[in-house]
């Protein structure tokens, strides 16, 4: 088993300066780093990869930060911005040595609104259609995408593993996976005894 740490714990946004944490991560016993890339322009992926190698660490995944303005089910501008952002993460992941981009890429974090059933279905279908395109783009680059369910206070779209699996089935791509975060699972998953 390998253990990793997310850069969000120490830097937001993560920049080239954040590599100063890598030797400490290794000292603490971590094997890999999940690099949260809020803005691809904030890092030089070649420089970051060299720092990972020097510390004896891997980048197992690139963590997507889908804040306001990045929303596959939002308005047209948000959809385009989100598509361009995720594609940029897919492009830089292999440079960092990663084959995975993970996060709640289906919607912006913090969007937890009340919608009627028809609106929910439309938003779901919109996100699915864009995820199909992103999964195909990532497959061309030999990168996989993983959607992360978030708790109900951070999204009203995908809160459970079952919902994530349904979205993956609707997208219909082997290149789309689920990323489970135990923090969110603790709030949303029901334990059956």
pLDDT digits (tens, 9 = 90+) for 56-71: 999 999 999 999 999 9
Of 81, 89, 90, the residue nearest 40 (C-alpha):
89
pLDDT of residue 185: 78
> For residue 160, is it within any domain?
yes
> For residue 61, is it within any domain?
yes
> For residue 126, is it within any domain?
yes
CA angle, 101 then 102 then 106, to 5°: 110
Written as six digits, the tokens of 109 are 């974090």
> For residue 193, is it within any domain?
no
pLDDT of residue 114: 77
pTM: 0.93
Please state, in angstroms and rounded to a whole number, the distance separating the CA atoms of residues 21 and 18. Answer: 6
CB 7 within 8 A of CB 21: yes
Please state, in angstroms and rounded to a whole number, the distance separating the CA atoms of residues 8 and 36. Answer: 6
pLDDT of residue 155 exceeding 70, the answer is yes
Residue 11 sits in a domain of what CATH number? 3.20.20.150
What range does the domain containing 34 cover?
A: 4-188
**Residues 107-124: tens digit of each pLDDT:** 999 888 878 889 999 999
DSSP labels, 17-58: GGGGGHHHHHHTT--EEEEEES-GGG--HHHHHHHHHHHT-E
Number of compact structural domains in the chain: 1
CB 134 within 8 A of CB 86: yes
């Amino acid at each position: 088993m390998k253990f990793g740490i997310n850069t969000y714990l120490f830097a937001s946004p993560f920049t080239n300066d954040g590599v100063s944490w890598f030797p400490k991560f290794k000292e603490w016993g971590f094997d890999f780093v999940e690099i949260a890339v809020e803005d691809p322009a904030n890092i030089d992926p070649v420089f970051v990869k060299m720092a990972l190698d020097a510390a004896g660490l891997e980048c197992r995944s690139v963590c997507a930060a889908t804040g306001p303005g990045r929303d596959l089910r939002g308005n047209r501008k948000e959809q385009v911005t989100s598509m361009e952002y995720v594609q940029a993460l897919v492009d830089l992941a292999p440079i960092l040595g990663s084959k995975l981009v993970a996060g709640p890429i289906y919607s912006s974090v913090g969007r937890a609104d009340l919608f009627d059933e028809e609106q929910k279905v439309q938003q779901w279908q919109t996100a699915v259609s864009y995820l199909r395109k992103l999964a195909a783009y990532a497959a061309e680059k030999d990168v996989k995408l993983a959607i992360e369910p978030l708790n109900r206070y951070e999204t009203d779209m995908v809160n459970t593993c079952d919902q994530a699996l349904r979205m993956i089935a609707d997208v219909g791509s082997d290149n789309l996976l689920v990323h489970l975060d135990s923090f969110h699972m603790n709030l949303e998953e029901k334990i059956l005894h």
